[in-house]
A and B are shown apart, each in its own frame.
Chain A
Amino acid sequence: MSRYRLDPHDLDRLLERLQEGGRVLIGPRLRDGAIVLDRIRSTADLPRGLTTVTAPGRQHLLDRADDALFGYEVGPDAAKRWLHPPRVELWRARKDEGGELFFEGTDEPPKYAFIGLRACDLAAIGIQDAVFLRPGITDPTYAARRADVRIVAVQCGASAATCFCASMGTGPRVDRGADLTLTEVLDGEPHFVVEVGSEEGEALIEGLPVKPVASTAPEEAAARAAAHQERQMPGDVRASLLNALESPAWDDVAARCLACGNCTLVCPTCFCTTVEDTTTLAGDAVHARRWDTCFDQGFTDLHGHAVREGVAQRYRQWLTHKLSTWHDQFDTSGCVGCGRCITWCPAGIDLVEEARRIGGSG
């Protein structure tokens, strides 16, 4: 893979290139006291000089001593928010004066480019591809957003206390799924090492002021990040959880779980949705889908009762789906080890610890 050196003041050239042809650029920016993924236009929008302190149930922002643009740990958003949006209209139904029904599509998404995605985020896109782009069951809303996307990843050089991508085999090294990968080097004269991962990536940097460079900064950054990680998903989790379906250990986590669904919202792979039907003042009936959560009791409503009435049953569904049955469905774990569900759990519940405890692993 070719490597180039890019000076920080030339990064805006790359951001401009990413937005050519009307592509909407999504990247990290500070909003509501957190670093989220949202529309950005230039490096002025990036979270310069900020870092994060992350633990189960919390993430704080702190100032850094340097001008790092990507010196923070993963925030609550992943590419899911844009490729599989929280709410999207599927169609509108219209009734004419004769009573005829017409169904019309309304979804005309923009083309997206992303900057700042981490190895876990790329793995999550791969998993959502497996969910939404199955042969014979292609989801048109996802496919339209996913097609022709551009991705500039950032190589992590540190890990949050909640990260465990190394044990899931998804990171911290960015080794697939990105058109370009940036490693931010802050020692000495700050610069980026740019790795090219695709023909599209090659086209993105063509004509930019980059110089070929022999650098091992990406590998060194990944090694530092990996060395920080203490959490490890047990290797036998897929089988051990299925063997523990009727364990009383689920009641213990249910006593702490608020069933708020935060974990499923921040999870970069959780894909469940519901549909909602509303009517416009003009009389059109809108059929929209929005993110749903298996922690909501209504998720399994049948007339008169819910199948998963208790929180223990709902937590069991989430954890066994994520770590066990996802393999049967999509030939991969549903977990990328990003740790977001731990960080954004208001009760600080740690799925690695729960998987170990409930599955009875050492």
Chain B
Amino acid sequence: MTAAALDLWRPVPMPVVSKVQETADTVTIELDARDSPVRFAPGQFTMLYAFGHGEVPISISGDPAHPERLVHTIRAVGRVTNPLVAVEPGQVLGVRGPFGTGWPVHDAEDGEVVVVAGGIGLAPVRPVFHALAAHRERYERVWVLVGARTPADLLYREELERFAGAHGFDLRLTVDHADDTWDGPVGVVTRLLEAADFDPSRATLMTCGPEIMMRFVVREALRQGVPAEKIWLSMERNMKCAIGLCGHCQWGADFLCRTGPVMRWDHAMHRFDVGGL
């Protein structure tokens, strides 16, 4: 038994250094990873462990240029995410990873980039914004199309607006249900895609959100003429091990913890509409 083999299952302790309340049920926490930097590709995830409660897969939401600061945005939806959201600076979490595939930030160079995200689906693409901003000159127009249920559910809103201003991203926001703080568009994120004036033959599209949202986003992208091999999505499944051994994340022949979560549409298209696979 080698130490390297053991490391696949065993977390590394990392202290929480900061916590930001993003929405009513969602926080962003930063872990101090200086002792074991987490070099990751945008789109990859870690297994986060809350002492005594267990592990869950959470996408990395930080800047890939800073592997010593491990950032996750977490929504409180269950047995493990509830205690994770409740942590305070100074407390220690366990971390394994990074795991899985990443977004095609290099393949997307020399063309337009269209990011379409819904709800908490914005968290796994946030590192893409950092990566694009770091080499802004390598990309043509960058479209960031974001949907949320209500204005109060919009993640990273100020940061996105700041990023868009500083790096020339075409940022468009929409909500399903407006309130009196909202004077933007109301409706599904697909409408933003319909209205975005990009060249489909030069665009790489990355989408993350509920499967129903991604289904309509992909359909619209294909309708506009984006090739299947330039469309990427991130699939969510139950994961217990993240190393292809527990079987939970299987989708057809894929273990999504290894050949996902990010995958190209032409790899997903033949089974995406098979219910309950």
A-side residues, CB < 8 A to B, are: 90-91, 93, 95, 99-103, 105, 131-132, 134, 137-140, 143-144, 245-246, 271-277, 279, 285, 287, 289, 292, 294, 299-304, 307-310, 312-313, 316-317, 321, 325, 328-329
B49 engages A300 (CB within 8 Å): no
Interface size on B, residues (CB 8 A): 44
A307 engages B238 (CB within 8 Å): yes
Chain A CB within 8 A of B162 CB: no
Bound-state CA distance A90–B91 (Å) is 23
**Chain B residues within 8 Å of A276, by CB:** 54
| Nearest chain B CB to A303 CB, angstrom units | 4
B238 engages A301 (CB within 8 Å): yes
| Nearest chain B CB to A277 CB, angstrom units | 4
Instruction: Provide 12 A-B residue pairs closer than 8 Å at the C-beta atoms, listed in order of the A residue.
Output: A100-B92, A102-B13, A105-B6, A137-B243, A137-B245, A140-B5, A246-B274, A273-B241, A275-B54, A277-B54, A285-B51, A307-B276
| Nearest chain A CB to B236 CB, angstrom units | 6
A277 engages B53 (CB within 8 Å): yes
A317 engages B240 (CB within 8 Å): no
Nearest-CB residue, chain A, relative to B245 = A139
Most A Cβ at <10 Å: residue of B10, B90, B92, B247: B247
Bound-state CA distance A298–B271 (Å) is 22
Bound-state CA distance A138–B8 (Å) is 9
**Chain A residues within 8 Å of B55, by CB:** 275, 287
Please list the 6 inter-chain residue pairs (A to B) with the smallest Cβ-Cβ separation, ordered nearest first: A272-B247, A313-B276, A328-B253, A303-B77, A325-B253, A101-B13
Bound-state CA distance A139–B91 (Å) is 30
Nearest-CB residue, chain B, relative to A107 = B1
**Chain B residues within 8 Å of A273, by CB:** 240-241, 245-247
B244 engages A91 (CB within 8 Å): no
**Chain A residues within 8 Å of B166, by CB:** none
Across the interface, B51 reaches (CB within 8 A) one of A93, A139, A312, A321, namely A93
| Nearest chain A CB to B76 CB, angstrom units | 10
Chain A CB within 8 A of B248 CB: yes
**Chain B residues within 8 Å of A329, by CB:** 253, 255
| Nearest chain A CB to B212 CB, angstrom units | 12
A317 engages B250 (CB within 8 Å): yes
Binary CB contact string for chain B from 253 to 277 against chain A (1 if under 8 A, 0 otherwise): 1010000000000000001001111
Nearest-CB residue, chain A, relative to B7 = A140
B10 engages A302 (CB within 8 Å): no
**Chain A residues within 8 Å of B248, by CB:** 272, 274, 292, 299-300
Bound-state CA distance A243–B253 (Å) is 14
| Nearest chain B CB to A307 CB, angstrom units | 6
| Nearest chain B CB to A332 CB, angstrom units | 13
B246 engages A292 (CB within 8 Å): yes
B1 engages A300 (CB within 8 Å): no
**Chain B residues within 8 Å of A307, by CB:** 237-238, 276-277
Bound-state CA distance A303–B58 (Å) is 13
Bound-state CA distance A47–B243 (Å) is 40
B-side residues, CB < 8 A to A, are: 1-2, 5-6, 8-13, 49, 51-55, 77-78, 81, 90-94, 236-238, 240-241, 243-248, 250, 252-253, 255, 271, 274-277
**Chain A residues within 8 Å of B2, by CB:** 138, 140
Across the interface, B5 reaches (CB within 8 A) one of A143, A246, A321, namely A143
B274 engages A245 (CB within 8 Å): yes
| Nearest chain B CB to A69 CB, angstrom units | 35
**Chain B residues within 8 Å of A275, by CB:** 54-55, 240-241, 246
**Chain B residues within 8 Å of A91, by CB:** 9-10
A90 engages B10 (CB within 8 Å): yes
**Chain A residues within 8 Å of B92, by CB:** 95, 99-101
| Nearest chain A CB to B12 CB, angstrom units | 8
**Chain A residues within 8 Å of B1, by CB:** 140, 143-144
Across the interface, B94 reaches (CB within 8 A) one of A101, A245, A294, namely A101
**Chain B residues within 8 Å of A285, by CB:** 51-52
Bound-state CA distance A100–B42 (Å) is 29
Nearest-CB residue, chain B, relative to A276 = B54
With A90-B9, A279-B52 already in contact, the answer to whether A99 and B91 are too (CB < 8 A) is: yes
With A138-B5, A328-B253 already in contact, the answer to whether A101 and B51 are too (CB < 8 A) is: yes
Across the interface, A140 reaches (CB within 8 A) one of B6, B91, B93, namely B6
**Chain B residues within 8 Å of A310, by CB:** 276
A287 engages B54 (CB within 8 Å): yes
**Chain A residues within 8 Å of B77, by CB:** 303-304
| Nearest chain A CB to B30 CB, angstrom units | 17
Bound-state CA distance A138–B12 (Å) is 19
Further 19 A-B residue pairs, CB within 8 A, beyond A294-B247, A325-B253: A90-B10, A99-B91, A99-B92, A101-B92, A101-B94, A140-B8, A245-B274, A245-B277, A272-B246, A273-B241, A276-B54, A277-B54, A279-B52, A300-B237, A300-B238, A302-B238, A307-B277, A310-B276, A321-B250
Most B Cβ at <10 Å: residue of A144, A292, A300, A301: A300
Bound-state CA distance A117–B12 (Å) is 40
A325 engages B11 (CB within 8 Å): no
Bound-state CA distance A76–B51 (Å) is 37
Bound-state CA distance A132–B1 (Å) is 13
